[in-house]
Amino acid sequence: MKLIIVGGVAGGASAAARARRMDESAEIVMFERGEFISFANCGLPYHVGNVIQERSSLLVMTPAKFKARTNIDVRVKHEVIAINREQKTVTVRDHHSDQTFEEGYDKLILATGSSPVVPPIPGGDDPDVLPLWTIPDMDRVKSRVDENAERAVVIGGGFIGVEVAENLRERGLDVSLVEMLPQVLPNLDPEMTQPLSETMRDNGINMYLKRKVSSIKRPETNTTVSSQLNVVLDNDTTLTADLVMMAIGVRPNSSLAVEADLETGEQGHISVDEKMQTSDPDIFAVGDVVETPDLVCNSKTPTPLAGPANRQGRVAADNACGREAVHEGTLGTSVVKVFDWTAGNSGVTEKTLHQNGIEYRKIYIHPKSHAGYYPGADMVSIKMLFNDHGDILGIQAVGRDGVDKRIDVTATAMKAGMKVQELADLELGYAPPYGSAKDPVNFAGMVATNVLEGKTRVLHWNNIPDEAYLLDVRENDEFDAGHVEGANLIPLGELRERLTDLPTDRPIAVYCRIGLRGYLAERILQQHNFDAYNVSGGWTTYQMIRNMDADFSDNGFPHSPASPADGSNNKKDHPNTDNEKQSVGTWQAKQKLDVTGMSCPGPIVQVRKTLEELQIGERLYVIASDPGFSKDIESWCESTSHKLVDKQQTQDKIHALVEKSSAPAETAEAEVSQPVNKQNSVALIVFSGDFDRVMAAFILANGFAAAGSKVSMFFTFWGLNALRKDQQPAVKKDFLSRMFGFMMPRGARRLALSKMHMMGMGTKMMKHVMANKNISTLPDLISDAKSQGVEFTACDMAMNVMGMQRSELLEDVDSVAGVADFVGTAQKSGTTLFI
């Protein structure tokens, strides 16, 4: 029997070695197009990070050693370029000599793996945008780091991107990670990844979640092309880097199979049966290039992981050698290190269940990794998904200790077809340094069983009924340190005495820190005939959901957490340092104002309006994305005497906590009787009728007004066009005035750019760009200015010259006056601008 194997790493090398063990007499040839076989691709990021110091440790087998041990004809730098099924041959190109030749087979195993996806973005194919996939890739990346690269951008937040980012950071680089989803590690549900993103930030990685890369450019000067790259994001942020790593996903290397007409699935993976046999009985396929049954959803799915590739290689080899072997499918069990955290999962996520319309139940628990009294115990947060029959559909766990063990135990139970009820009774090793008498896996099984048996009725933060009475059963201090808005505190120890404080006509949603005291309270209440429920995972789960980076509904995750705790938002933005993290999360404010997406002067105008509704001493928590807001709010508070209690910047947001002071109100009243404060009064002469100049005038006017200045705008000559109505009334005019009226733009909407108008195209483009950036339109700015009390005066003389009448101007114009009037205004002003 002659067996040919294409691909010599995880699946291929494993198949080759097994085939030899099964059949000593078989002729086995393994073609590998690269230079290396059987290398440890999973270790590549850690050699870049110098965690695995010796490069040679990654080269598990050399071709010579492999050949000596297995008597397999290993041919590196040999690429199979075609499968000729009828002749049962493969066409091979020898990259040493560039010759091609045919090689016959009885059985063929394809283990061609996958390749990193190159996105269709400008610059995405730049040779210096590097993947980390092979040993040569790793050598290039490592030499860049060794050559003192200082800044790196990692594109993609899957496990490879996360590992690469961590290792580059460990080497001291300034690392930014860009991910288009609102979370890292999409194999987990978003709330479970929240502590992971946070720990990445805490370790100094600049996180750009929910951001796409729009282009990668190499800055050019007159003489040289830079060795740096600029990564431009969809919000126009530019990240400059010495090293750009691309890790946005993989695509199967299945073109050989496709060209040979083997059956493939929707995403191009080779279809195989449980023997790893393709649609051609003499051809098998394994690893990243195939799709196999998803053991939970019963659909076909690719699982690009090393474990399945190795096991499938063994099964394919057995069958190729005439022995029956079966691979049932995959659970997608995985584990990943994220600095001092570990995240793992097995089975499917809630997102997937939701997307596939599969009914499920879920619980969150947060037990200790081992006995709490033994040093080093830490919280393991576990989410378990199961159905009404007790089938385990998925587990996810994150924490600093003991995560991998709980994932592996549960994955084993899932593969064995065990139910959640059986997890409760699993006999697991226990001693204080390693576990608890009730291991977290037992505990998950017990809670899930309680749910199924109706001994506890759980609610989740996204399905608490509006009418529910929210009961916090923690201690006073815990409550004071933060609680869900509207919650009522009755510590568990006082509950029995205070039953009369509780409503009997509506559901009671009980929560505690992690769910245990909540369950005890729920049991007490239920036995006193209250309609009580326990909120799964309590305050700890609430914080994971509240702190998520973004709205996950567009990610297929049903999410609408209960109202914000402690008056802050449920979409907390994550600062980069511990210090900042604590303070933003604990800010107490009467009201919250989210002006994300608004551009200057919108945010300041909104702040002023909102503060008007607050009482003196009350605080406003503002979140803005406009970079200018950071300085604006400082100056605005300074000029209005409101107190800027705190201001913090996260990677793309500015958080400000402003306390209303009495000073602005007093000032406003004082204005009536006292002379206007010269410093606090501004006069703008709008002479130009160019769109950009008039925009600038109104942006300034709004900014000054929002800062408490009295603003007067004097419109003369071409500037008057900004005040013309869109629809001109019929007015009697002489010939010249009619001509003027006809030739001049009618109103703010029709003004043209001072430069690059290009027959209207330039102005249109400018308006389009401004709309995309959420900059107010000129008519909006005019109306904002008006509502802020900006005074509009039309120049009498210029109106005369241009044959304009009052009825042609907006109602917003306060007066038509001459230059003398304006001189008076200008004299009283601290600032006078001519535009």
Closest separation in Å from C-beta 288 to ligand FAD: 4
According to DSSP, residue 348 is labeled -
Give the whole-angstrom CA distance, residue 655 versus residue 89: 66
Least gap, CB of 704 to ligand FAD (angstroms): 55
CB of 227 to ligand FAD, least distance (A): 24
| Smaller CB separation from ligand FAD, 157 or 287 | 287
In the sheet where 488-489 sits, what is the strand order?
Answer: 458-459, 532-535, 508-511, 469-472, 488-489
Q: How many whole angstroms separate alpha carbon 830 and alpha carbon 13?
A: 80
Of residues 284 and 714, the one with the C-beta less far from ligand FAD: 284
- Identity of the residue, 305 or 598, whose beta carbon is nearer to ligand FAD in the bound complex: 305
CB of 173 to ligand FAD, least distance (A): 17
Please state the three-class secondary structure of 427-468 as a single string: CCCCCCCCCCCCCHHHHHHHHHHHHHCCCCCEECCCCCCCCC
Give 93 or 370: the residue with its C-beta nearer to ligand FAD. Answer: 93
Based on the residue annotation, tell me whether 600 is a catalytic residue of this protein. no
Of all residues in this chain, which one has the CB nearest to ligand FAD in the complex? 287
- Sole residue written with tokens 């604990």: 586
Closest CA to 744 of 733, 734, 752, 753: 752
Least Å from the CB of residue 42 to ligand FAD: 3
Q: CB 26 → ligand FAD: shortest distance, Å?
A: 20
Provide the minimum distance between the beta carbon of 13 and ligand FAD in the complex, in angstroms, as a whole number: 8
Which residues are at the interface with ligand FAD (CB under 6 A)?
6-7, 9-12, 31-34, 41-42, 44-45, 79-80, 111-113, 132-133, 160, 253, 256, 287-289, 304-307, 309
CA distance 433 to 378: 11
Select 257 or 753, whichever has its Cβ closest to ligand FAD. 257
Nearer residue to ligand FAD within complex by CB, 292 or 541: 292
- The smaller minimum CB distance to ligand FAD, of residues 108 and 810, is found at 108
Spatial contact of 316 and 15, defined as CB atoms under 8 Å apart: yes
Sheet bearing 2-6, strands edge to edge: 73-76, 27-32, 2-6, 107-110, 283-285
- Residue 179: how many CB atoms within 10 A of its CB? 26
Rounded Cα distance, 358 and 706, in Å = 52
- Burial category of 330 from C-beta neighbours within 10 Å (exposed 0-12, middle 13-18, buried 19 and up): buried
Query: Judged by CB, which is closer to ligand FAD: 89, or 583?
Result: 89
Q: Give the residue with the Cβ less far from ligand FAD, 47 or 383.
A: 47
Q: Which residues contact 352 (CB under 8 A, 6 or more apart)?
A: 297, 394, 556
The residue type at 623: I
Report the distance separating Cα 390 and Cα 361, nearest Å.
9
List the catalytic residue out of 42, 512, 600, 637: 42
Q: Which is nearer to ligand FAD, 58 or 748 (CB)?
A: 58
Q: Quote helix, strand, coil % in the chain, to nearest 5.
A: 35, 25, 40
**Pick 45 or 367: Cβ nearer ligand FAD:** 45
Burial class of residue 482 (count of CB atoms within 10 Å of its CB; 0-12, 13-18, 19+): middle
- DSSP, residue by residue, 315-346: HHHHHHTT-------B---EEEEETTEEEEEE
CB of 331 to ligand FAD, least distance (A): 12
Comparison of 6 and 685: residue with beta carbon closer to ligand FAD? 6
**Radius of gyration (C-alpha) of the chain in whole angstroms:** 34
Tell me the closest approach of the beta carbon of residue 120 to ligand FAD, in angstroms. 21
Nearest-approach distance from CB 10 to ligand FAD, in angstroms: 3
Left, alpha or beta for 137 (phi > 0: left; psi -120 to 50: alpha)?
Answer: alpha
Structure tokens given for 82: 């075609």
Distance CA(267)–CA(291), nearest Å, equals 9
The token pair at 508 is 């009671």
The Cα–Cα gap between 680 and 687 comes to: 23
Residues 434 and 424: their CA atoms lie apart, in Å, by 18
694: helix, strand or coil: helix
d(CA 52, CA 21): 31
Rounded CA separation 288/80 (Å): 17
As measured in angstroms, the least distance from the Cβ of 268 to ligand FAD is 14
Give how far Cα 246 sits from Cα of 8, 127, 164, 215, 308, Å.
24, 11, 10, 13, 24
Q: Which of 211, 206, 253 is nearest to 31 (CA)?
A: 253
Give the contacts of 127 (CB within 8 A, at least 6 positions apart).
none
The residue among 599, 80, 13, 598 whose CA lies nearest residue 287 is: 13
Minimum distance between the CB of residue 479 and ligand FAD, rounded to whole angstroms?
Answer: 42
Query: Which residue is it, tokens 């996810």?
Result: 396
Burial class (CB in 10 A: 0-12, 13-18, 19+), 743: exposed
Minimum distance from CB of 218 to ligand FAD (Å)?
25
Q: For residues 160 and 622, which CB has a smaller minimum distance to ligand FAD in the complex?
A: 160
Active site residues: 42
